[in-house]
Amino acid sequence: MEHLIRLELKKFGVGRNIMFTVAAILFSILFITVSLVDSMTDPEQTKDTFESTFLIIGLLVSSIFLVYSSVLTARFVIGEYDRRTIILLFSYPLNRKGLIAGKMMIIMVYTAVSVMMGYICCTGFMIIADNYFDMLEGTFKISLLQTWIPAAVTAAIVCTILSVWPFIIGMIRKSVSATIVSSMIVVVFRQIIISKNAANRESLLQILLAAVITFAIAAVIFKKKVPQLF
Amino acid sequence: MDYIMETVGLRKSYRGNAVVDNVNIHIPRGAVYGFVGPNGAGKSTVMKMVLNLIQPDAGEVHLFGEKVTDHSYEVFKRVGSIIENPYFYEKMTARQNLELHCEYMGFPNRERIDEVLQMVGLQEVRGKQVRHFSLGMKQRLAIARAVLAYPEFLMLDEPINALDPEGIREMRKLFQRLNRENGTTVFISSHILSEVDLLADTIGILRHGKLLAELPVEEIHKHQTEYISLQVDDVPRAAVLLEKKGITNFTAEDQEFIRVYDSDLPGKTLSKYLVENGVGLESLGRRQDTLEDYFFQLTEEGD
């Protein structure tokens, strides 16, 4: 498996995807800055709190990287079927399911790392900006990390699990567009679920349930759909 | 006999239609096996089943004496192939595509890349992205990729499609050289019968998913008869005249051509006789049945 992952990483284009991560984080910072400056300067609005800004960061970062993970799945996995290069890949002396699993592992690790980096960079920027420009209501206290850390870790884990869904749908349809559209549905569905939770994040039970269902269906897809060329 | 590849009762159906029906192929080690048949005969489907790209409904494939299963991977190290069309990572250059192939095949000799690019005449464009290649260039690159890792068994699905006549000749020479010098067994499918006739030493004829015949080319040539081909302006009149002269072993091919199988007849006498009796003679020549004739004879019998 290590050999397969190393091979696939060459095609993945690590540098290009790091560039995207940096650009997405910068966009998120810009978005949050505009939103905070607006609430600071508009006398009719009250300043945002640290808690509400954490939520915006969470929503933004998870949505961006979840959708981007589906783009990667579409290009890196489903695209092989779509462009028929899968015929070439499956002619090699390699474990075919292992090859696709290797690709998915790269995407899942990339998603987890990007979501974590997004959280850390956006939150770090927000704390520094507040320190200099007093952009938020109140001051930053270490105790706030007690809600921030579980939220960030939960988001990274959940996004990693949910990044498998575009693969599942994409494999069923062997369609690039279905892969990307499914990620948007997943983002909306996740928001509906977590908005009903008091902590605004998934409970441990929900995470476990999502993981079991997702990986069980993915296992069936690996068995039935991965070896099929179309 | 030592078969490098053998299929036993291979069957495949799509929506109830049998596209491959009880196909038993035997490819001896060191052979150049021409797999011929019209488009849609099932040649590509058979080749995909050999590589386990699609699973047969029934039957078995044996490669290097080993049954091909879902877990057969190592055996593909010894196989070079082109299936369907020449597929590539289009944004990569020709050389990068071949480097990637080396990685996947676990083939360490990178110097071989330049060698195969030279063989197929693509050395000059090795740094060009494949998306800028013509179909003929892609076909050449696919051949380079297939032969790169010194395969013992080369499986080529319509490899001369999109090649110009010069390209076809170059590739034929390349396959012949690989077969002669490296002992590579070549399994080549094509619907261009004349080309297969020039290249193969064993022929398998597939039609409507059924293998109609499998035999050495020598065998076909042994049974090929010589004949005189007459191109005339009035076939019925020419036929009557031939019968009058006691020549009965002939066939009218269409509204222009007659084949006279009594090839010992002097052409001069025949032409003079027809012209003197008012038949316009466009051409006269001695010919021999080709693989194409054999193919049509077989397929007509099948119908």
pLDDT for residue A205 is more than 80: yes
Q: Determine, for residues B100 and A93 on separate chains, whether the beta-carbon distance falls below 8 Å.
A: no
Mean pLDDT for chain A?
90
How is residue A162 annotated by DSSP? H
Taking residues A193-203, report their average pLDDT. Answer: 81
A135-170 tens-digit pLDDT: 888 888 888 888 889 989 999 999 999 999 999 999
At residue A40 the predicted structure's pLDDT band, cuts being 50, 70 and 90, is: confident
SS3 B69: coil
Whose tokens are 């091979």? That residue is A7
SS3 A29: helix
pLDDT for residue B126 is more than 60: yes
* Cα separation, B124 vs B146, whole angstroms: 19
Q: Which has the higher per-residue pLDDT, A74 or A1?
A: A74
pLDDT for residue A37 is more than 60: yes
* Cα separation, B303 vs B208, whole angstroms: 10
Contact predicate A103/A5, CB 8 Å: no
Taking residues B157-162, report their average pLDDT. Answer: 86
Q: Determine, for residues B104 and A7 on separate chains, whether the beta-carbon distance falls below 8 Å.
A: yes
pLDDT for residue B302 is more than 60: no
B271-293 tens-digit pLDDT: 888 899 999 988 888 877 677 77
Taking residues B16-21, report their average pLDDT. Answer: 92
- Best interface-test mutation with B: which of A11, A87, A88 has the largest number of B CBs within 10 A? A88
SS3 B134: coil
pLDDT for residue A36 is more than 90: no
Show which of residues 73-102 on chain A sit within 8 Å of chain B, judged by CB atoms: 83-85, 87-96
* Cα separation, B56 vs B60, whole angstroms: 8
Percent of chain B, pLDDT > 70?
97
Show which of residues 97-126 on chain B sit within 8 Å of chain A, judged by CB atoms: 100, 103-106
pLDDT for residue B18 is more than 70: yes
Alpha helices (runs of H) in chain B, residue ranges in sequence order: 43-50, 94-105, 111-119, 135-148, 165-182, 193-199, 217-222, 235-244, 267-276, 291-302
What pLDDT is attached to residue B301?
Answer: 64
- Best interface-test mutation with A: which of B83, B95, B150 has the largest number of A CBs within 10 A? B83
User: Is A195 at the interface with chain B, CB within 8 A?
Assistant: no
Percent of chain A, pLDDT > 90?
66
At residue A64 the predicted structure's pLDDT band, cuts being 50, 70 and 90, is: very high
What pLDDT is attached to residue B223?
Answer: 67
Q: A227 to chain B: which residues are within 8 Å by CB? A: 55, 70
Tell me whether residue B132 is exposed, middle or buried, using C-beta atoms within 10 angstroms of its C-beta: 0 to 12, 13 to 18, 19 or more: exposed
3-state secondary structure A71-137: HHHHHHHHHHHHCCHHHHHCCCCCCHHHHHHHHHHHHHHHHHHHHHHHHHHHHHHHHHHHHHHCCCC
**Going from the N-terminus, what domains does chain B have, and what CATH number goes with each?**
3-216 (3.40.50.300), 226-302 (3.30.70.100)
What pLDDT is attached to residue B198?
Answer: 87
What is the pTM (predicted TM-score) of this model? 0.82
* Cα separation, B109 vs B121, whole angstroms: 20
pLDDT for residue B39 is more than 60: yes
Q: Determine, for residues A87 and B87 on separate chains, whether the beta-carbon distance falls below 8 Å.
A: yes
